[in-house]
Amino acid sequence: MEKNNWFGRWIYSFIILSVGWLLFTFPYNQEELIVGLIASFVISLFTANFFKEFGLKSFSPMRIIGLILYIPYILWEIVIANLEVAKIVLSPNLPIKPAIVKAKTTLKSDFGKMLLANSITLTPGTLTLDIDGDDVYIHCLKIEDTSEENATKTITAKFEKHLRRFVV
């Protein structure tokens, strides 16, 4: 993994903080804008050291488009999984088949693994328990086939297909 220089990380941190501030104070006036920019400037001086994996290249158009396309996809997955879990909760005999399965991930960066684990946990019915290297341990509420291949195919692969557009 190549290291980003400090300046790139600082610019990244500054832009993220400023955009966040602008969105929060949306119908903004001049004083708020200036105070926000100064605060972003000072805070980004301190936080830049922590963003080891980010830099100016995080703002390439392909990555931003990939991220924007990922949000509707994950929301749709959440709605579908929510309806399935709602059906399980409401059925009288509680047809659950829980298991802790092991799946493989092909994502390499820490940020990519974090996004994958978060996506899996956000989807009701699957819960990431641990990540160890390339292995992801997932608790499933209902799964028929507990083999590693099936878990990789049905749980991690479908998120990775979309995640790989903007993370490695």
Sign of CA dihedral 77, 73, 21, 6: positive
Using the rule CB under 8 A, is 67 a contact of another protein? no
Region of 48-56, 60-68, 91-99, 160-168 interacting with another protein (CB under 8 A) = 91-99
- CB 126 within 8 Å of CB 120: yes
- Residue 2 CB, shortest distance to another protein, in Å, is 25
36 vs 125 by CB, closer to another protein: 125
109 vs 118 by CB, closer to another protein: 118
Using the rule CB under 8 A, is 141 a contact of another protein? yes
Using the rule CB under 8 A, is 16 a contact of another protein? no
Q: Which of 3, 6, 7, 20 binds another protein (CB under 8 A)?
A: 20
Region of 5-13, 39-47, 61-69, 124-132 interacting with another protein (CB under 8 A) = 124-132
**Helices (H) then strands (E): counts for the chain:** 6, 3
DSSP string, 104-142: E----SHHHHHHHHHHHHHSTTEEEEEEETTEEEEEESB
**Cα–Cα–Cα angle for 101, 87, 89, nearest 5°?**
75
First to last CA, the chain: 10
Interacting residue ranges for another protein, rule: CB under 8 A: 20, 23-24, 26-27, 74, 78-79, 82, 85-86, 89-90, 94, 96-102, 117-118, 121-130, 137, 139, 141, 143, 146, 148
